[in-house]
Structure 1
C-alpha cells in the first residue's frame, strides 16, 4: 500500500522551538525539546483561552498558524499517542480521595477535547476526528487524511501532538516524550505547490534488525523527515513497516 500527498504548509511548536527557522535548525541537529514554555495563543479570546491547557495550546497554536484564515469547512485530524493523560490521572486521584469531580475537567480529559475546542474557537462546523494509534499514530493520521482527500476534500488539516507521561506510567515509557505539536496542511498529490510525500506500508523485511534506542519520539522523527527535504524514513510498529519518502 502506498499513498501520495502534498504538504502545502507546516507549523510546529515546542519549548524553545517557536519559529520555522528554529525548527529547520533543529532538524539539522535534532534533540528532545525541553522547557516550561507555553504558546501565547493570541488568536483565541482570553475567556476561551483560559479553558485550554498547555498541550491544547500547543496543538491549537500550530493549527492556527497552518490553517489559512479563509479556509473554512475543511476537515481536520487531531492525532496523539497519549493525549492529555495527566488530566485523566488527576481525575482518578480525585476519585481515590472521594472528592467531587469537576465536570469541566472531565470534559477536557477525553481524547477529542482539543479537537473540539479548536472547532469551537474557530467556529468550524465541518468534519473532524481525533485518533490514537500507538507507535504508528502519525501514519494513521495521514491515512485518515488520504481517505478524506479521496472523498473530495481539497485539503485536510493534520495536527499531531503529545506530552510527557505522568510518573505513574514511567514503566510504560518506551520513547522520549517531550511536549510538542506540529500541523500539516495536506493536499492531493497533484497539487503542485508544496512538498510531495509518499507513505507506504508493508510487511517487516526478514533482514530487519533491532532498532536503535530512540533519541526522539516517532512523531518528531516524522517532522524531522519532512524538514530534511529528501530521503526516506522507515518505522516498524505492530508488525508492519511504514516508509515515508520524499517525492511521493
Structure 2
C-alpha cells in the first residue's frame, strides 16, 4: 500500500481543456473525440514543430501543472503505447525500402516525450517513462511513491494515450481516445490537495472485477483514474493480470 497527496492536477483532451470542463465531465463522463491539438504556446516554435499531437497534449498538461521554478522535480511519464504512430512511420519506410529518419527514430522511443519536456524546460532532475498495460497509472504512482520515499519533495506524474494505428486495432482491449493528465504528487502529510491511498493484492478468481461508475461511458482505465480524482467517489477498484488494485480517498 502507498499513500500520497495529489497537490494539483491538469488535463487535456479534445473538447476538454479547462478545469471546469473536466469537473463537469467527471460527473457525466464520455469518450473524448475531436481533432483539436493544444497550442502549446509556452514552447518556442522551432521546438514545438518537432512535437506530434500526443506529445503536445502531454507536455501541455505538464506545463500547466508543474511550478515554474521546480527544475529538479522528478518526472514520471506513463503511457501504455506511447507515440506508436511514429514507430509505424518507420515501419512503413522499412517496408517501402526507404531510408529511415534519425530524427524520426529518436522521437519514436518511449521516453522521447519526457526527454523533450525535460530539455525544453531545462529540467535537471531524473525522469523515467514507463508502460504497464492497463495498470500503467498505478505503476506510475508506485514509482512516484518510491521517489517521494527517497526524499523528493514532489513528483510530476504525466499520463497520456492516443488511439492505436488501424493495423493494431484488433489487439485493443479498451477504448483508446486521445487524452493526457498531469498530477503534482507529494507526501501523504501534505496539507493541501487530495490525499489518496493505493493498495493491491492477488485478484480472487471467485470475485468478478468490480464495475467502475464510469463503465457506461466505456472509459479506458487510465482515464477512469483521472475521473476518480475529480469526483467524490470513495473508492475505485480494478483488476488486471491477476492483480486487484484499490484506490481510496483518505483523510
Alignment TM class, shorter chain as reference: over 0.9
Equivalent residue for 1:234? 237
Is 1:138 the equivalent of 2:141?
no
State the TM-score, normalizing by the size of structure 2.
0.96
Would you say the 8 A contact 2:210–2:238 is kept in 1?
no
Give the drift of 1:238: 0.9
1:219 has 2:218 as partner? no
Moved over 4 A (4+): 210-214
Structure 2 match to 1:106: 105
Unaligned runs of 5+ in 1: none
SS at match of 1:90: helix
Deviations 1:159-184 (A, max 9, x none): 00000000000110110000000000
Report the Cα offset of residue 229 of structure 1: 2.7
2:246 corresponding residue in structure 1: 243
Q: CA deviation at 1:228?
A: 0.5
* 2:203 alignment counterpart: 204
Matched residues in 2 for 1:210 and 1:12: separation?
27
Q: 1:210 to 1:201 in 2, by over 3 A?
A: closer
Distance 1:210 1:66, change over 3 A: closer
- Larger deviation, residues 75-84 vs 207-216: 207-216
Distance (whole Å) between structure 2 residues aligned to residue 112 and residue 229 of structure 1 = 33
Q: Are residue 48 (structure 1) and residue 47 (structure 2) matched? A: yes
- 227-236 vs 91-100, which moves further: 227-236
Q: Deviations over 1:100-152 (max 9, x none)?
A: 11111110000000000000000012100000000110000000000000000
Distance 1:159 1:106 in 2: 22
Give 1:40 deviation, angstroms: 0.5
Alignment of 1:149-228 (within 5 A): 149-209=148-208, 215-228=218-231
Partners of 2:232 and 2:189 in 1: CA distance: 18
Q: TM-score, normalised by structure 1?
A: 0.97
Aligned residues: 247
Secondary structure of 1:72's counterpart equals coil
Alpha-carbon deviations, 1:9-54, whole Å to 9, x = none? Answer: 0000000000000000000000010001000001100010001110
Partner Cα separation in structure 2 for residue 208 and residue 40 of structure 1:
46
Give the RMSD, CA atoms, in angstroms: 1.2
What is the CA–CA distance in structure 1 between the aligned matches of 2:49 and 2:169, rounded to whole Å? Answer: 29
The equivalent of 2:4 in structure 1 is 5
SS of the equivalent of 1:130 reads: strand
CA–CA distance in structure 1, aligned partners of residues 232 and 71 of structure 2: 29
Q: Distance in 2 between matches of 1:91 and 1:107?
A: 11
Check conservation: 2:144, 2:185, Cα contact below 8 A: yes
